[in-house]
Structure 1
């Protein structure tokens, strides 16, 4: 029996319970290189390396596929095509239309056509290039506008409506309208797509996959092999970043490794080179949005007609829900009055785009902020004042969204006021206006933008989670849950939750790899719901075990329940005490089960697509950011000078991790709106397919003055310890930088013209906007 002297008389903070700033559970391993990722797993004996041959054309029929030269290459053991897949060929995540390997036709440049397995990674890659592939090319649809013209869609149109938008627009004093192109974004995870499949007995398969959705990998591997899911186990200890890029699209590579392992009866690993990873896996959806807004003389929105057009690629993937999410968030924090929101899912001959941090939300939020800036220029007001005027509030029905969910517990007015004061917005606005009057070349811009982000999967059945907890007789605890760790600190927070429930030190909690044979039927780690769902499930399992221990102690010691308390690593039993380990040992000796599953499903949520109404979100996470930039109007270059962020995480489970998530999300959002430009040429080839041609933010792109604070207010909803999700919502804070750039350019017109700057706002686009605005001012006289 092992006692726990280190826990004695420690505070909850020292024990690492929720509310304390504890470092990431693998932080030291990340720094030292000890952290084991899929590619670091010791190679099993006889392991083969797989690689794919990719389509050289964007669209067409395969007229010739000669793989004899591939088969004859040194080290090659097997070559497989679609005809060799023993089970299902279609691996569409939600809707059909995504073949594991191209079957007779190709639909994007870079689509896998065949797979080769060899005795080394280099041998497999070299062999894959030896194929003779002839394709009868057909005209390819590359852009969203081409898809709209051709009426090419992967899913039907969907509309959300409140009131009569047309009538409201006809009655409004002013109409503000425009269009916005919003670029996609490469996930650029440090660990690329990788999977290792090891054959087991009875055609079973053990799969190690860098996936945010192990259950989906399990399901699809079982289907392509034509075996029951119970014969497939998927293990995922950690990812080197995911950001949505491994929610659905990790499955293809796991399935490819599995079919080769099944055929050869040897372990098989596949790892994509960065250029192929970027060309053959989906991105954040590019969008083309259109809006027409009716306002009164003060700038109050009275009606809105908005269309969002998501560029989905060749197949649906998660696009239906992603475009829905863009529609849900087209209001951001503002009441749109009588509103009609239409969403199109456009089919192009590019890679199938997929989930990315924020899902479709950022494409709706940025449109809302574009509209509010344009309204401010129209009525001659400070954009912040127009934003505050149009915020949701409790007057009449001004707290009801266009999808008919009531915005409850709206803290944004108070939060914005706090940030406005702490960032010294008004004084800086006055100083910047004066600076711009006397500085003909260098122009400063300032913007304060809010975010209201709905938390829950909009597909209802995904809002559930399971967990498994084992308590051992020495007092140590092993936790397993359905969430995946990709650097965001999920395992750390779940460990803190279980430690708090048992009143023990977090050092005695081990959160193990996510495995489909421990917790089945899991949801993806996405939608910012990882801690909300899995934390609650783990808490449920811990409470079950704890109650068993309490019931045992009541009977064994003859005490009232109220006399038993779990605290600081010890159990108070009336006037006596014992360690948690001692109680566990005693309970075991008296045949008390110390293991339990836990389960949680999110309450209250529902959405009816037929009526386009409901409560798709359990609650809203909110925040605001204030950014200042300096723009060189001769070159279009700009510098981010200062950023202030105030973000709502409810009762923080781990302030250090939460602040880190906010900082990282902001940096990623900054890249999306400024530097990260994806370019496909007319042939459908991604030309920005490496770190040399695709620019993510670096340290020098971040402001020297970077202030992040948490808005401390408990979540009124019954979430885990009244916390709020933190993964996705702060991504939208990067939008304030784009608004600040537009503000700086607008100063060239004395803030009377709202410049059109599509995202990402590269220096070239800023320079074009400066030129166009100057020409417009000259025309106006």
Structure 2
């Protein structure tokens, strides 16, 4: 693996003193603040916390059917089981029993009926984790079985939706398609994805003396956990404190779906007045938590002889599971990103939110955007094969920015658009054209092995599409020894958020970053926080922390001016020191002086994203503050006898604006790409005809391993290209967009399969593109090629 970290230095945008701060400065590679603890095993997660005296352990009894009414529930054997201290059902919930994060429909424990296999029906607190898990299996449940809905097709036929359908449109797509020179249509099934975080779902609840509760939760959204725990216990929010120091991965799976386990632990802790820990086993985590939404999408498109789209209709059908959860916004995001990087003039995009009797699917890195992008990338490949063109040529002719075509189908201008230049640069640096010629020659000469090549772009909108979530707070203290305490509303799940925000505060005071200590995200320090999601963690919390630091800095400068009778221009912070006219003090010395003069050394900061708005009634607005862009070239080789394949080489060029920390950004790009590759190639979720998840453990669900990585993996950041919007130090978000670069692997596989029929046809390839599906697609191409040869003979 080779990473190319482009040097970033722009005279008018790079912080002038960044290079004077050592390894902690903005724009410099700095290791993750917990890196040493991660590799040594010293990093503490929820399950590592020492047991509190009297601590109990929770488990839940799960539904064994996909849909039915609970006729009778016998828990006598459960209550009598070894180690059991308490058993609760929904009747024991003192407050709200519905914990739906946005819309109702998610009971904390089943109410009279069950809607998916694995749904919690009752909960147990026992003296050990194993005893609790054994006890729940002793329950006797009598069901009236109802017919479940287990496919998107069935949900559409029955108009079974968790939220109403929604359409975004511009112009008259039907007429544009009908009047175009050529028309095509197609469909694709896009599989879901298990989050597979290394640390499973876990929460601990500790009762407090005032009738409140302290929750330690592996959650991306502590404020939501606080709210829901308060509601189920029927107490005020100020009696609930949620603490999250770090997560062992989240990827969206702990945005809303960490809350149920915290609520159940809190209910049991409240009932027993003893601490309760609830951790899910890996199989239970698979079974009871939502995945990336599977989608089944279709399109109709009209285009001209050059391959330029004139009109298009896209329908995205999201498999939401049994409840709304975040599905309304996720399907919206799929609709927003159904254009990816391409201008759709006369366009209609409809999204259906299908209700099935499976676990409720939830946020996952990209939040619906990847599933939306897949359809338009299929369109690009299909048009190319129809016209006998290189798919890259079709992609380039349809890009935003060509002939001033910069308005999306939801009526937002694509500003500061440099996609064409980025793609051109990657095309050259990856030697795309020469490799295309070589691969075509290889495929002509080889019958069994075929190579494929694809370059695909990404344009991803940055912001929560729900406006009020685009806000953040932070708290900064300076102590009299010159060290800084930082707290903010973002959560750390391994992505390096704490590191970047600490660098920002260090930059403001021109200190080494190791002087800034970041504490656990806590609802009693920074309240009413948004989830750490939507790639906005650094954008929001970095700006809030900067605001707090600037407030204190302004106080310090004012003190210096008054005490030393100087102007503001004569006060500067540099190299861990404060210079006042001709005098120079260490930062600690100066802070001590300010303290003695009774200057406040603590401040809060707040930030809200400007410019964003969206009117759902008209499907128009600016839901995104800016766009993150990138592109990837992937080369693959397939075995046409077995369907097996290998990714030979990947070249990525990605725009992160003015990078805050190139080392972390490169890591996010590499990790996001590999996770996306897993989603599209190997990670297959399988349910049986009764609605049971069969791929429920690491033996039956395959995430990418080290041998699945590309043999050559080149990653570069776009150099000297600061964000034109006023983001933190003109950086761009990096968390989610790189995942979608992996679409290039899927497209390269299709390119290799198309070569079987001399590129005459565009293969259908649902995802994940397992070797089995690749083999089926190869067979279909061979049949089409044979049919074409026979037709040619008949014609002759």
Q: TM-score range by the shorter chain?
A: over 0.9
Equivalent in 549, 557, 560 of residue 564 of structure 2: 557
Matched, 1:660 2:667: yes
CA distance in 1, matches of 2:616, 2:514: 46
Alpha-carbon deviation of 1:395?
2.5
Matched, 1:387 2:387: no
Matched, 1:545 2:561: no
* Structure 2 contact 23–30 (Cα < 8 Å) conserved: no
Matched, 1:508 2:512: no
CA distance in 1, matches of 2:376, 2:20: 43
* Structure 2 contact 203–277 (Cα < 8 Å) conserved: yes
Equivalent in 271, 294, 299 of residue 307 of structure 2: 299
In structure 1, what is the equivalent of residue 177 of structure 2? 169
* Structure 2 contact 21–510 (Cα < 8 Å) conserved: no
Alpha-carbon deviation of 1:203?
1.2
In structure 1, what is the equivalent of residue 126 of structure 2? 118
Equivalent in 489, 499, 502 of residue 492 of structure 1: 499
C-alpha distance after superposition, 1:481-535 (max 9, x if no partner):
0000000000000000000001111110001100000000000000000000000
In structure 2, what is the equivalent of residue 149 of structure 1? 157
In structure 1, what is the equivalent of residue 143 of structure 2? 135
SS in 1 for 2:143: strand
In structure 1, what is the equivalent of residue 751 of structure 2? 743
Aligned residues between the structures: 772
C-alpha distance after superposition, 1:150-173 (max 9, x if no partner):
110000011000111011011101
In structure 2, what is the equivalent of residue 371 of structure 1? 379
* Structure 2 contact 18–25 (Cα < 8 Å) conserved: no
Equivalent in 266, 274, 288 of residue 258 of structure 1: 266
C-alpha distance after superposition, 1:616-648 (max 9, x if no partner):
000000000000000001101101000000000
CA distance in 2, matches of 1:158, 1:721: 37
CA distance in 2, matches of 1:92, 1:39: 26
In structure 1, what is the equivalent of residue 63 of structure 2? 55
Pairing of 1:359-438 with structure 2 (within 5 A): 359-393=367-401, 395-396=403-404, 398-438=405-445
Pairing of 1:65-464 with structure 2 (within 5 A): 65-393=73-401, 395-396=403-404, 398-464=405-471
CA distance in 1, matches of 2:150, 2:471: 37
- Indicate the RMSD between aligned Cα atoms, in angstroms: 0.9
Equivalent in 586, 604, 609 of residue 579 of structure 1: 586
In structure 1, what is the equivalent of residue 486 of structure 2? 479
In structure 2, what is the equivalent of residue 629 of structure 1? 636
CA distance in 2, matches of 1:10, 1:513: 27
Alpha-carbon deviation of 1:750?
1.1
Equivalent in 53, 65, 90 of residue 45 of structure 1: 53
CA distance in 1, matches of 2:522, 2:402: 46
CA distance in 2, matches of 1:325, 1:501: 35
In structure 2, what is the equivalent of residue 524 of structure 1? 531
CA distance in 2, matches of 1:326, 1:739: 19
CA distance in 2, matches of 1:438, 1:510: 61
CA distance in 1, matches of 2:359, 2:728: 38
* Structure 2 contact 69–145 (Cα < 8 Å) conserved: yes
SS in 2 for 1:607: strand
* Structure 1 contact 472–594 (Cα < 8 Å) conserved: yes
* Structure 1 contact 15–504 (Cα < 8 Å) conserved: no
SS in 2 for 1:630: strand
C-alpha distance after superposition, 1:92-112 (max 9, x if no partner):
000000000001000000000
CA distance in 2, matches of 1:583, 1:317: 51
C-alpha distance after superposition, 1:360-418 (max 9, x if no partner):
0000111111110111111111111111100011624x100000000001111111011
CA distance in 2, matches of 1:614, 1:753: 38
CA distance in 2, matches of 1:294, 1:593: 65
**Residue 486 and residue 90 in structure 1: after superposition, are their counterparts in 2 closer, same or farther (change >3 A)?**
same
SS in 2 for 1:774: helix
CA distance in 1, matches of 2:210, 2:97: 21
C-alpha distance after superposition, 1:107-149 (max 9, x if no partner):
0000000000100111000001000011111110011111111
Pairing of 1:595-674 with structure 2 (within 5 A): 595-674=602-681
Q: Which blocks of at least 5 consecutive residues in structure 1 are unaligned?
A: 1-8
Pairing of 1:727-766 with structure 2 (within 5 A): 727-766=735-774
Alpha-carbon deviation of 1:202?
2.1
* Structure 2 contact 21–575 (Cα < 8 Å) conserved: no
CA distance in 2, matches of 1:381, 1:414: 21
* Structure 1 contact 13–20 (Cα < 8 Å) conserved: no
* Structure 1 contact 193–250 (Cα < 8 Å) conserved: yes
* Structure 1 contact 11–568 (Cα < 8 Å) conserved: no
In structure 2, what is the equivalent of residue 697 of structure 1? 704
CA distance in 1, matches of 2:280, 2:217: 13
CA distance in 2, matches of 1:356, 1:127: 33
In structure 1, what is the equivalent of residue 5 of structure 2? none
C-alpha distance after superposition, 1:259-311 (max 9, x if no partner):
00000000000000100100000000000000011100110000000000000
CA distance in 1, matches of 2:181, 2:544: 52
Alpha-carbon deviation of 1:583?
1.1
